[in-house]
Amino acid sequence: MSAPADTAVRVLCIAGSPRRQGNSDQMLDALVRGVRAAGGEAVELHAAAAGLNPCRGCNACSLTGQCVIRDGMDDVYREIDAADAVAVATPVFFATVPAVLKMLIDRLQPYWARRFVLGEPPRPVKRPGAILIVGGGGDPFGTDCAVAPVKSAFAVIAVRADEVLVSVGPDAPGEVGNLPDILARAEEIGRELVESARKQRAWPPPQTRF
């Protein structure tokens, strides 16, 4: 059974910065424009405003497949399960992602537990995904350690890292606006996510467990 043809492709767009309308937010805004231009539905989620608490490391999800913490992550789980594609935009803080985004990533442990502890079958097809990274360029350790945790998160929620767009240089708020090629590429990626997701909607999404 396939999704209804008139149902718009849902792209979950996660902003990982604690600061609103900074450089990574502007890159994500460009991607959102591309999603909408291609006829998709952009579902915007700001990690810093999602009402999340940190993972307790209690391993209860290894028994039930669900997190025992009841907070804003319940809504995040539902959005992840309903998404046809996922994009994450983040700045680089000390060579990795900000704490607000890492907290969201850590709370994805139930997906890992269900797959690798409880033995539930994986999602039949991985969904398209994109990672947008912006860093000031002053850290000698670069951006790889910011890309890696997002790729790890994508792996457990059945999302492919089809595109990784890295911009090194913009530091002060809004400086990425001086890089039209980067913003144009981010917008193009948004369109590509929609088109890629459309091509693989021949399978029904699983029911959310959250």
pTM, full prediction: 0.90
Q: What is the pLDDT of residues 29-49, one digit of tens each?
A: 999 999 999 999 999 999 999
Please name which of 193, 170, 195 lies closest in space to residue 181, comparing C-alpha atoms. 170
The position carrying tokens 């994500």 is: 28
Q: DSSP 3-state assignment of 14?
A: strand
Q: What is the pLDDT of residues 144-202, one digit of tens each?
A: 999 999 999 999 999 999 999 999 987 788 888 888 899 999 999 999 999 999 998 75
What domains lie within the chain, and their CATH numbers? 10-49+58-199 (3.40.50.360)
Sign of CA dihedral 33, 35, 40, 44: negative
State the chain's maximal CA–CA distance in angstroms.
Answer: 50
Q: What type of residue is 26? A: Q
Nearest to 37 by CA among 200, 188, 196: 188
pLDDT value of residue 2: 40
Sheet with 85-91, side-by-side order of all strands: 41-46, 10-15, 85-91, 129-135, 163-168
Paired tokens of 131: 């990672």
Assign 134 a pLDDT band (cuts: 50, 70, 90): very high
